[in-house]
Structure 1
Amino acid sequence: MRQFFEELKKRNVYRVATAYGVSGWLVLQVVDIVGPGLGWSESVQTLLIKLLIAGFPVSLVLAWLYELTPKGFKRTGALQEDTSDNKKVGRRLNQFIIGILALALSLLLAERLFFSGVPSPRGFSGASIAILPFKNDSPDAENMYFCDGITEGVRENLSRIPSLSVISRTSVEQFRHNPPSVSEIGKKLKAQYILEGSVLRLEDRSVIRARLIFAPEERSLWSQEYDRELQDVFMVLAEVTQNIANELETTISPEVMHRIEEQPTEDLTAYDYYLQGQLYLNNSESTENNDALQKADLLFRKALQRDPTYAQAQVGRIRVFREQHKFEFFENATLIDSMLVMCNKAIAMDPDLADAYWVRGAFYDDFLYDIPKATKDLSRAVELNPNLVGAIGQLAVLKWVHHREIIPALRLYRKLEKLEHSPRELYGAYINQSLLYWDLWDHEKGYYYLDKAIPLYPGLKGLKAWYYVQQGRYNEAVELMKDTEEFAALGFFHLLLKEYEKALEYYELWEIKVAEEGVQEVAELESWHRYGQVLAGLGRTKEAQELMEYQLNLNEKLQKNYQRAHAIFYESAGIYSFLGKHELAFEYLRKFDSINRWDDGKLHFIQRDPSFDNIREIQEFKMIVDKRMEEIRSVQNKVARLEASGEL
């Protein structure tokens, strides 16, 4: 045995094994660095590893059988002699090994010195991904709806994975035509990964191509082509989702994977009708096209005729129904019942469909003012789909406004900032965070988010004026709004300045506008008593009294027929205080306080509002305000600590 090992040494087998191992490792490192940039998938590296493993024993056998001499390769005999040529070859192999090791060390040092700060294309914590609209490779341009359906299917599947942030559909829609470079898209959407693809539909087959790209370096991480029968489309969507999750080193729980793999319908014709309906529904939302809405409803109905258990088509019908009757629900019990029946049916069809809980929760919130049921449904929707932006935004408002759960609300808004990047979506996220921070008396952040929202919607100047009012900056509010036709607001600002003649001019203009055009916003219905305060300031007591009584009667109707009971209680308390009816003033102030709706700057303004001058020094008034201020200070401190630690 000892002689055998001596022979291995003489024939340089040990040196060849070492050189092969070091060289193979170096090749793998180079491929790992340059391969993704050349568009190579990980399968190339896997194949190379297999080849290197297979080649290792071959190299050892060749080292045993052949000798490298200055005259070239020659077959060795039964026993290798320890000749001078043999020693020269050994020295050359040693030099080769040393050179390879030096090169490997240089590569490691270069990576440590120059690339340690470069983000890795895999393994991001909380990775964000944008799914660009897949291209339509079909000969028929009308197949675009099918292509969009595939895009949405991939997005919806990925959205169910809690560890991923999936950029919203409306945010990526801006890149459908003439998109910039992938890295530029990544920057605009704040997405580390971009998924692009194409769809070719040929009769009963579809060819779906998908490619995952690491956006900062425009590096291709994975690509695949799926040439399958059309009936396998849902299986393909599940495979794409699983492959992307694997590439991003993201784990999918068995429960989530079950929902991803579950087919929404087994009827491909129903699926086709549904996809067409979605196209018309999306178009109606962006263009307010009633014809598109009706076509969408017809197609959803056709889908349900083919498959009466198709929950997604049922949700499509619900969204159409809500849009068609959005101004009629408040006074029509039949429509309300119909809407709830449709929502309950969708959930019965698929108890794990996030959109079904979203539409019902939104309806409870927007039209029935049933906050507990709305919160429960919206929470379930976000649990099932952690990237469902509509449900996240509405749940954040409920947490903040109704439950006063400020920190959970802020976490939800932080999530929205990752997912929403279209102007319409950003506007909502910015304005709500502005209002939330304002309620926390963090005026700096309140103005910060408001100033980010105003370029997206210049009409927000009115909110900025309201912020000025809450700080007692009445002249600045007037200056900001003086060139508008917001007559009630301008009259109110001059009332606060006690410039009653000027205030009267604006309220008279507002009264004419209301008579000619009607009330444009429900909040305007609460302006009559401020008009009365102006008249009282001018000594026209009887007319002021009449307007106050008119407002109180109107308030009784408003609190029954509209979701502004909290605001109505505040205004009624102020009117009774102004009239000197203290008992009634506190009765309504207690009602307002019990609803827990000190949002919209009311805690700021009640400390300046002239309506409450008559009771401001009474102990109960002070106790109510002080209690709420103490709550605000407590939350302020918690938010500050979490923001300082980076947890928020």
Structure 2
Amino acid sequence: MSDFLQPKDPFLLKAIGVVEEHLSEEEFGVTELANQLSMSRSNLLRKIKSLTNLSASVFIRKVRLHHARRLLQSNELTSSEVSYKVGFGSTSYFTKCYREEFGTTPAKQQPDKENVDENGSNASKKRKWIYFAVPSLIILLVLVWILHPGVASQKEFKSIAVLPFKNDSNDTTNVYIINGVMDAILSNLQKIEELKVTSRTTAEKYRGLNKSIPEISKELEVEYFVEGSGQKVGDRIVLSVQLIDAEKDQQIWSSRFERKNEDIFELQSEISKTIADQIQVIITPKAKRLIEKVPTESLEAYDLFLKGLDITNKANGGAELEKAIDYFKKAIDEDPYFANPHAYIAICYYYIDIYQVDKKYGNTINSYADKAILLDPELGEGLIAKAMYHTQNGQYDLAIEFLDKVLNLNPNSGWVHNFLSEIYRNNIPNTEKYLKHAIRGIQNAISDQDSIEASFTYLHLANALAQTGFIKESVKYVKQALAYNPENYFAEYLYIYIKMAQDLNLKQTKNELIDILEKDSSRIDVMQEIAKLCYTMEDYEEAWKYYEAFISIKQALQLDIYPAEDLKIAYVLRKLGQPDEAERFLNAYKAYIDSDNSIYKDLSTSAYYAYEGDINEGIKYFKAFTKQTDYFYWLILFLEIDPILLEMSQHDDFQPTVQKIKDNFWEQHQEIREMLEEEGVI
């Protein structure tokens, strides 16, 4: 075993042992290690830094890499398998880190089994092999260089887009079948780790557009394109598919397929594997098994499922989702053991329910999700559906477990990374993981430029950077979000706050937000932000103007959002001489903090007692909040100008506590900086 894994210091030995217990868990990071060692995060960082001169995240990575070397030298696993064994979600990132640590690639670290016989005495044969191999290798390298001059600079990931397939039939009612084949091929390619696959949303934008491959390639920044067309003729599917090298605008491979309807799954699998073979990417045994899996033996059930899926992909509201659900239920009637429609029924009901105060379909979502997983434990959509159920119930730890399982099956799911970044931002605040998944969302949506989806992906990263105090760095990404979709009002809204963080000009910020609200008077999120700024500037009459409009819309739509605003609303009403109304919102706020289990509970409780005038009790909870980490930059920004918190400002412990909260934030900020520099984000 490496000396690194056998330190003399007892603390390091214990820390390494804890990491070893969670070696295969990609999500096991600094926060988890601190919890396991019963230490605060800041104390762990200082301890590891003093003993090793490494950051805690680098220390954990080194443990993973040294174990990887030991596994590789045993020659029992491939480098891809080893990367997952030691907690790397990406083989290419594992290779990069391994090379930086040991100066060689994982593949070169493995001994050649054929070079050693049972007695370990094969030296002369080895020398003979070298005499023949070296000239052959030189010839081979020369040929490779001549035939493929760009091979030395190939990217570790190859990128591909599956453009919308064309319907060759005049019968438009069968378009869903061709779309379904395209979706299946795209989904299969996404299971291959070494491929970056353009999302369906982005590719769909090019349906019917008269753009050349070089033009599309420039916009999407991909190396390969798949084009196809087909039709259903009686009981047969006729399909033409071609693979194109985008840079050269040349066809690499093409083929025409004519198969019976019952061979549709074999056809989709064959095309996917052929494409992978043509562009020379490795399909792991696990990915191959998933690609070749037959979802149902009933063609009628699959046909009904494709109809529902086509509607779901185009849906723009609950009525369309209900229509899709009808098709999914009919598919289940044809084949009760077909997992996919069960999963999509749960997903559709989740989106029907998502913003409603009274959730109607929680049990239904859970039932269909469970059934999907029972029928196919490796179906990504089933696991996502179960994660949605737990998200709706506020069981975010359980939601994360299921989303992590999806990433194990499909590490290139930008959507799942974005879902996780939302959870780590809003529900279980964890700045490191929030940023990590926001970054992965960008990396796995590399081809999503010039799309609405991409704009929101870049918005995620911009917001993650801003929330962790990287204000200047966030500007680049929020501008990209706006460049890809100027209509992304959320990005416009974030950009306003990023500018405010640099100069703290609250009046200018308020005016810019009012401009957004004038474009869309239904923007309830902007409404409460304007009210909040007016409250902070102690302009209580104008604050109430916007809060009143906010409350009116919230009640009319029965929305269960922004419960933390109730305390500010109560404070504003009290300042305006409406104590009875203020009491109603204060009681609502008290009910909210009593059920709050977030890291902000102590701070929220402190504000409650500050409002009530119980300063000593307020300070007690204020000081308790200093034990927390992973809170966001906006809190730091407003901490000393919030009117309710300022009710405690004359207490001797107020300013030292403010400073402690700030110090904790900037300490973690520095550690995150190291991670961002390693990822090349800043």
Q: TM-score, normalised by structure 1?
A: 0.72
- 1:518 counterpart SS class: helix
Partner-residue secondary structure (3-state), 1:433 = helix
Task: Name which of 373, 381, 390 aligns with 1:347.
Answer: 373
Change in Cα spacing, 1:191 to 1:253, as seen in structure 2 (3 Å) is same
Are the aligned partners of 2:190 and 2:413 in contact in 1 as well (CA < 8 Å)? yes
Pairing 1:637–2:674 present = yes
Residue 475 of structure 2 is matched in structure 1 by 447
For the structure 1 residues 122 and 169, does the alpha-carbon distance in structure 2 shift closer, same or farther, using more than 3 Å as the test? farther
1:380 to 2:429 alignment: no
CA displacement 1:56-94 (0-9 Å, x = unmatched): xxxxxxxxxxxxxxxxxxxxxxxxxxxxxxxxxxxxxxx
How many residues end up aligned between the 2 structures? 520
The CA distance in 2 between the partners of 1:298 and 1:594, in whole Å, is 51
Q: Match for 1:256: what amino acid?
A: A
The equivalent position to 1:198 in structure 2, one of 229, 251, 261, is: 229
Change (3 A) 1:199 1:584: farther
* Structure 2 residue aligned with 1:573: 606
What aligned pairs does 1:137-156 form with structure 2 within 5 A after superposition?
137-156=168-187
* Aligned match for 2:544, one of 507, 511, 526: 507
Residues 1:163 and 1:579: Cα distance change in structure 2 (over 3 Å) = same
- Is 2:571 aligned against 1:493? no
Contact 2:346 / 2:369 at 8 angstroms: preserved in 1?
A: yes
**Is the contact between residue 606 and residue 618 of structure 2 (CA under 8 Å) also seen in structure 1?**
yes
SS in 2 for 1:351: coil
Q: Which amino acid aligns with 1:554?
A: A
Structure 2 residue 383 is matched with structure 1 residue 357: yes
Please give the residue correspondences for 1:426-465 in structure 2 after superposition, counting only pairs within 5 Å.
426-454=454-482, 455-458=486-489, 460-465=491-496
CA RMSD of aligned residues (A): 3.3
Question: Residue 244 of structure 1: CA displacement?
Answer: 0.9
**Other-structure match for 1:606:** 639
1:169 paired with 2:204, answer no
Larger-gyration structure (1/2): 1
How far apart are 1:418 and its partner, in Å? 0.8
Correspondence for 1:288 among 307, 317, 342: 317
1:163-312 equivalences under 5 Å are 163-284=194-315, 287-288=316-317, 290=319, 292-312=320-340
> What SS does structure 1 have at the residue aligned with 2:378?
coil
Please state if 1:627 is matched with 2:658. Answer: no
**Cα separation, 2, equivalents of 1:643 and 1:149:** 37
Q: Secondary structure at the match of 1:157?
A: helix
Counterpart contact for 1:555–1:568, Cα < 8 Å: no
Letter in 2 for 1:176: R
The Cα of 1:421 is off from its aligned counterpart by: 3.3
Deviation readout 1:256-288 (Å, 9 max, x if unpaired): 11111111111111111111111121222xx32
SS of match in other structure, 2:361: helix
- Flag the 1:577–1:191 CA change in 2: closer, same or farther, 3 A: same
Which residue of structure 2 lines up, in the alignment, with residue 20 of structure 1? none
One-letter amino acid matched to 2:568: R
State the 1:593 CA deviation.
Answer: 6.4
Q: Which runs of 5+ in 2 are unaligned?
A: 1-141, 519-525
Distance 1:586 1:356, change over 3 A: farther
Correspondence list, 1:575-594, <5 A: 575-586=608-619, 588-589=621-622
| Paired residues of 1:519 and 1:525 also in contact (CA < 8 A) | no
Check whether the contact 1:265–1:310 (CA below 8 A) recurs between aligned residues. Answer: yes
Q: Distance in 2 between matches of 1:372 and 1:125?
A: 33
Structure 1 contact 504–535 (Cα < 8 Å) conserved: no
CA contact (8 A) 1:362 1:394 kept: no
Distance 1:144 1:439 in 2: 44
Contact 1:532 1:548 (8 Å CA) reproduced: yes
The separation in 2 between residues aligned to 1:115 and 1:635, in whole angstroms, is 40
For the Cα contact (< 8 Å) 1:470–1:608, is it kept in 2?
no
Q: Render the CA deviation track for 1:476-522: whole Å, top value 9, x for unaligned.
A: 21331344465654444344345x3xx41342454266347737765
Distance 1:215 1:395, change over 3 A: same
Q: Counterpart of 1:10?
A: none
Q: What secondary structure sits across from 1:352 in the alignment?
A: coil
Deviation at 1:534? 5.2
What are the Cα deviations for residues 236-256 of structure 1, in whole angstroms up to 9, with x where unaligned? Answer: 111111111111111111221
Q: Is the 8 A contact 1:396 1:412 kept in 2?
A: no
Distance (Å, rounded) in 2 between the aligned partners of 1:299 and 1:121? 50
Distance 1:370 1:298, change over 3 A: same
TM-score normalised according to structure 2 size:
0.69
Distance in 2 separating the partners of 1:643 and 1:610:
40
DSSP 3-state at the match of 1:217: coil
Structure 1 residue 633: deviation in Å? 1.9
Counterpart position of 1:134: 165
Cα-to-partner distance string for 1:396-453 (whole Å, 9 max, x where unaligned) = 3345663333463244133244143353212321221111111221111223322333
1:389 counterpart (406, 414, 428): 414
What runs of 5+ residues in structure 1 fail to find an aligned partner? 1-107
2:247 alignment partner, SS class: helix
- Judged with a 3 Å threshold, the aligned counterparts in structure 2 of structure 1 residues 617 and 186 are, in CA distance, closer, same or farther, namely same
